[in-house]
């Protein structure tokens, strides 16, 4: 292996090691963002057409949990509650990655609402 490849491999491994705690916490707190990984072929085709294979009940439950901790809704459908539609563009709500970073930095406790502004 060339010196350049060794260098790049080391840099990539350093990045993976450094970001592992954030990625692991994100997977733990927001598993809905990884649902697409387990899609069937039909589900993947639906998503490609812009149709979510998730049931509205599941989406509402997930968005209610996210709302409680001050995180923007994950996915919206035509019949999603109005509060989730309004929170999508809200300056007060943060995204899930920002929330995880604040937890790791000790700015907030896991499961506690974040006051973004």
Residue 28 in domain = yes
Domain count, the chain: 1
In a domain, 81, yes or no: yes
Predicted pLDDT of residue 117: 44
- Structural domain for 41, as ranges: 3-104
| Residue 35 CB coordination number (10 Å) | 17
H/E stretch holding 91 reads none
Write down the pTM of the prediction.
0.73
pLDDT tens-digit profile of 69-114?
A: 888 888 766 655 666 556 566 677 888 999 999 999 999 888 777 6
Lowest mean pLDDT among 5-14, 35-44, 86-95: 86-95
| Residue 111 domain-assigned (yes or no) | no
Classify residue 116: in a domain, yes or no.
no
How far is it, in rounded angstroms, from Cα 72 to Cα 74?
Answer: 6
Rounded distance between C-alpha atoms, residue 53 and residue 112, angstroms: 30
In eight-state DSSP terms, residue 50 is T
Residue 16 counted as domain residue: yes
Contact present, 70 and 113 (Cβ < 8 Å): yes
Length of the chain: 117
Q: Is residue 85 a part of any domain in this protein?
A: yes
In a domain, 58, yes or no: yes
pLDDT for 35 equals: 85
């Amino acid at each position: 292996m060339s010196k350049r490849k060794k260098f790049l491999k080391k840099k990539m491994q350093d990045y993976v090691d450094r970001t592992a705690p954030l990625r692991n916490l994100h997977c733990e707190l927001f598993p809905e963002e990884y649902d697409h990984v387990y899609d069937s072929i039909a589900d993947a085709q639906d998503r490609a057409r812009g149709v979510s294979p998730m049931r509205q009940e599941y989406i509402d439950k997930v968005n209610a949990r996210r709302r409680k901790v001050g995180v923007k809704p994950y996915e919206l459908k035509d019949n999603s509650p109005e509060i989730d539609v309004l929170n999508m563009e809200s300056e007060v709500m943060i995204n899930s990655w920002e929330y995880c970073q604040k937890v790791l930095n000790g700015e907030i406790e896991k499961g506690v609402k974040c006051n973004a502004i």
